[in-house]
Amino acid sequence: MKHPTRIRWAVIAVALVGFALLVSAEGMWRDLLGALFPDYRTVVHPRGTLVDFTLEHLALVGVSSALTIAVGVPLGIWVTRRSGREFRPLVSAGVDLGQTFPPVAVLALAMPVLGFGFWPTIVALFLYGLFPVVSGTIAGIESVPPAVTEAAVGMGMSRWQVLARVELPLAARVIMAGVRTSVAINIGTATVGAAIGTGGLGVPIIGGLAVQNMAYVLQGAIPAALLAVLADALLAQAEEGLGVATG
Amino acid sequence: MIRLENVTKRFSEKTAVDGLTLEVPEGEVCVLIGPSGCGKTTTLRMVNRLIEPTSGRILVNGRDVMSMRPEELRRGLGYVIQSIGLFPHLTVAENIGVVPRLLGWEKPRIADRARELLSLVGLEPDSYLRAYPRQLSGGEAQRVGVARALAADPPVLLMDEPFGAVDPLNRERLQAEFGRIQRELHKTVVFVTHDIDEAIRLADRVAIMRDGRLQQYDTPENVLNRPANKFVHDFVGADRALKRLVRIKVTEVMRPAPQAAIDDAPEAMRERAGAGRFVYLTDDEGRLAGWLDTDDIRDDAVADAITTVDRLQATVARDASLRDALSRMLGLGFRSIAVTDDEGRIMGEVTFAAIEAVMSEAEEHRGPTADGEGA
């Protein structure tokens, strides 16, 4: 049980280092894209290095996902409590709407209030990523067998103890699956932020589309795709770790 | 001790429990029984405040449960439910340690306690402590459930159909073990079931309920012999005499049995039989090896009259009930059966005639209200 887990973590660590080396290899991108598109005058986006774009992207995803989790998990827990149960349909409908609403539209609506840049994108990503986290939390807690919570209460656990020692550990895997989906969505969606000058890997993609430079598009799209795959693998592994006992 | 004083519970329109007064003396097993919806589970759950009474008082060891913090109250009341509710993310040892941890016990003490309790419920600690609930069979899980409820040594156990979900064979085994544990620990137990046989087997007192009202609260013998009303009479069933046998241990009607060692001389064996027909033959550890039927002796060929048997099949243990003995005898076609002690040595025998005598005695005790009812 322990060995394969450790090996998988090692593989992920190697992949992360590989990714870091890849995005910092400026010369390689220039040569590669130059060979692919010999007719273009420039093949890498002039606004910054790929490392800058990647770090901006990670900041967007990191902040928005952190907000999503910080709000989504408690919200999901609250509507499964007695005090919040009646708000559950409202919350479900709300987060559902958040995901149905296109992020670009959120950007457009948020811009007049929050201006250009970082925060409107964060708001859009936050709203967009909330749904999987909230519904994952609700599903996870509801998957706990009623007999188990009844036993916990009957044995003298307080409500907090039932939540912290029984419900959350048992729901952790399903909640983590929701987080994983949310982060994956965010990594992809964060590219639209470039449209309002937020930076990130969307800059070469949107810039490339605007000037019809496919080299730019690839320069942003390849790292973004790899980042999504890596983050997913990382979180899948974390999810696995949470499930060791119950799996 | 548990006392319910005029306890009523109303759910919106329905009255689940109606003016119930009941006292469970310390160290006794009170079995609440009745058809579904009679209020037995509601009554149990009011004791640990999972449900709060509409009116009336419930006292546990002299303290009104409503005056205590629910968590504190519940930590002092062992609780076992039919669906067990073991925590799937915790090992057996951690499951057993839940209440001790809530009470702030030291780790080594919790670990020792888990070992001790697993042994008590008949599970080998070394093979079970680190197991997860999903690795257990239904019977094993329920044993762990009982161990968990006993963990902090609560004076009171509340058991809600604890053996209802296990197969009949395992249920009997669990009941027997519960009986053994209870004889050792003397907990005050409130036990809910819908199985009258289980009630008769385990109860010191049976509380028969119907529509939230207590119909009769008495010893199993009195419930069987003197049902308070037609409902109780019908609920107990027509085979009351047979049920009564469950309450009587084989040792109560056992008589001494002639024995000889299987390697004794034939004449010595025959002598031991005296006027009787059979002699039990034992191996060198005093355990049943077979018997000698003196009627079968022809021309002094004693060896031909010896039947050897599987001792586990052809004996009953000392803590078996007369019903166990009767069903074993009927199955084997015997007129008597040997009773063995914990080491398997023969203590005596129970005869068909003795069981018959007990059954006819029970018939004579039939209460007046039961007359003319019958099967």
| Structure tokens that stand for A208 in this block | 């490339």
Give the CATH number, domain containing residue A32: 1.10.3720.10
- The answer to whether position B135 is within a domain reads yes
pLDDT for the residue numbered B375? 36
Q: Which of A153, A155, A162 to mutate to test the interface with B (most CBs of B within 10 A)?
A: A155
Q: Measured between beta carbons, which residues in chain A are less than 8 angstroms from residue B132?
A: 245
- Smallest CA–CA distance, residue B185 to chain A, in Å, is 20
Q: Rounded distance, CA B160 to CA B44, Å?
A: 7
My answer on whether B242 and B133 are in the same domain is: yes
What residues contact residue A2 under an 8 Å CB cut-off, 6+ apart? none
**pLDDT above 90: percentage of residues in chain A:** 54
Contact B87 A161 (CB under 8 A): no
How many Cβ atoms from other residues are within 10 Å of residue A88's Cβ? 15
Strands B213-218 and B205-210: antiparallel
Q: Of the candidates A154, A157, A246, which has its C-beta nearest B88's C-beta?
A: A246
Q: Is residue B370 included in any domain, yes or no?
A: no
Q: B373 Cβ partners below 8 Å, 6+ apart?
A: B230, B233, B234
Same domain flag for B235 and B270: no
Model pLDDT for residues A129-167, shown as the tens digit of each residue: 899 999 999 999 999 999 999 999 999 999 999 999 999
What 3-state class would DSSP assign to B210?
strand
Contact B226, B367 (CB under 8 A): yes
Q: Is B375 contained in some domain? A: no
Which residue of chain A comes nearest to B100, CA vs CA?
Answer: A155
**Residue in B346, B356, B293, B352 with CA at minimum distance from that of residue B318:** B346
Q: What is the pLDDT of residues A62-87, one digit of tens each?
A: 999 999 999 999 999 999 998 888 99
* Contact residues of B toward A, CB < 8 A: 48, 50, 70-76, 79, 81, 83-90, 98-99, 102, 132, 148-149, 158
Rounded to a whole number, what is the distance in Å from the CA of B83 to chain A's nearest CA? 6
H or E segment at B92?
helix B92-96
Residue range B184-227, pLDDT digits in tens: 999 999 999 999 989 999 999 999 999 999 999 999 989 988 89
Q: What is the pLDDT of residue B52?
A: 94
Give the model's pLDDT for residue A116.
80
Please, what is the average pLDDT of chain B?
89
Q: Which residues of B touch A242 (CB under 8 A)?
A: none
The CATH number that applies at residue B217 is: 3.40.50.300
User: According to the model, what pLDDT value does residue A243 have?
Assistant: 63
Q: Are residues B303 and B317 in the same domain?
A: yes
Q: How many domains does chain A have?
A: 1
- If you average pLDDT over residues B147-169, what whole number do you get? 92
Q: Give the percent of chain B with pLDDT over 90.
A: 55
User: Domain check: are B313 and B205 in the same one?
Assistant: no
C-beta atoms of B50 and A145 within 8 A:
no
Statement to judge: residues B303 and B180 lie in one domain: no
Q: How confident is the model at residue A3 (pLDDT cuts 50, 70, 90)?
A: low
AA identity, residue B177: E
Q: Is residue B77 part of a domain?
A: yes
- Is B216 a member of any domain? yes
How would DSSP label each residue in A101-153?
Answer: S-HHHHHHHHHHHH-SSHHHHHHHHHHHHHHHHHHHHHHHHHTS-HHHHHHHH
- Domain limits for position B161: 2-248
ipTM confidence score = 0.79
- Please report which confidence band the pLDDT of residue B6 belongs to, taking 50, 70 and 90 as the band edges: very high
Judge if B78 and B175 occupy the same domain: yes
Residue where one domain finishes, among candidates B220, B248, B276: B248
Report the number of distinct structural domains present in chain B. 2
Q: For B224, how many CA atoms within 13 A lie in the half-sphere containing its CB?
A: 25
- Using CB atoms, pick whichever of A147, A157, A161 lies closest to residue B84: A147
Considering only the beta carbons, identify the residue of B71, B81, B98 that sits closest to A150: B81
Task: Kindly state whether residues B119 and B266 are assigned to the same domain.
Answer: no
Q: How confident is the model at residue B295 (pLDDT cuts 50, 70, 90)?
A: confident
Which of B65, B87, B158 best tests the A interface by mutation, with the highest count of A CBs <10 A?
Answer: B87
Using the beta-carbon criterion (under 8 Å), do A246 and B148 form an inter-chain contact? Answer: no
Q: What pairs with residue B209 in β-bridges? A: B214
Q: Measured between CB atoms, which of B79, B88, B132 is closest to A154?
A: B79
pLDDT for residue A197 is more than 90? no
Same domain, yes or no: B221 and B326: no
Under 8 Å CB pairs connecting chains A and B tally to: 66
Structure tokens at B141: 């899980």
Give me the residue from A149, A156, A246 closest to B71, CB to CB. Answer: A156
Q: Domain range for residue A79?
A: 2-246
User: Smallest CA–CA separation between B107 and chain A, in Å?
Assistant: 17
Same domain membership, residue B169 and residue B43: yes
Cβ-Cβ contacts under 8 Å, A150 against chain B: 50, 81, 83, 85
CB atoms within 10 A of CB A102: 13
Question: Could you report the per-residue pLDDT of B239-257, keeping only the tens digit for each?
Answer: 887 888 888 889 889 998 8
Residue A156 to residue B85, Cβ atoms within 8 A: no
Relative to beta strand B278-282, strand B288-293 is antiparallel
Shortest Cα–Cα distance, B79 to chain A (Å):
6
To the nearest whole angstrom, how far is the Cα of B321 from the nearest Cα of chain A?
33
What local confidence, expressed as pLDDT, does residue B369 receive? 46
- Same-domain pairing of B35 and B130: yes
All residues of chain B having their beta carbon less than 8 Å from the beta carbon of residue A152 are 85, 87, 98
| Residue B90 sits in the same domain as residue B187 | yes
Q: Which of B248, B276, B300 is the last residue of a domain?
A: B248
Chain A positions with Cβ closer than 8 Å to B: 145, 147-158, 161, 166, 169-170, 245-246
CATH of the domain at B257: 3.10.580.10
The CA-CA-CA angle for residues A85, A165, B181, to 5°, reads 115
Q: How far is the alpha carbon of A12 from chain B, nearest alpha carbon, in Å?
A: 26
Q: Which residue of A has its CA nearest to B44?
A: A154
% of chain B residues with pLDDT over 70 = 96
Domain assignment of residue B374, yes or no: no
CB contact under 8 A, B73 and A156: yes
Q: Please check whether residue B366 lies inside any domain of the structure.
A: no
* Six token digits for residue A163: 């939540």
Looking at residue B373, its pLDDT comes to: 42
Provide the whole-model pTM.
Answer: 0.80
Structure tokens belonging to residue B127: 């093979």
Task: Say whether both B161 and B125 belong to one domain.
Answer: yes
To the nearest whole angstrom, how far is the Cα of B123 from the nearest Cα of chain A?
21
Rounded to a whole number of angstroms, the distance from the CA of A154 to the nearest CA of chain B is 6
What is the identity of the amino acid at B315? Answer: T
Q: Which residues contact B47 (CB under 8 A, 6 or more apart)?
A: B2, B4, B58, B60, B65, B77, B156, B158, B190
What would the mean pLDDT of B133-159 be, rounded to a whole number? 94
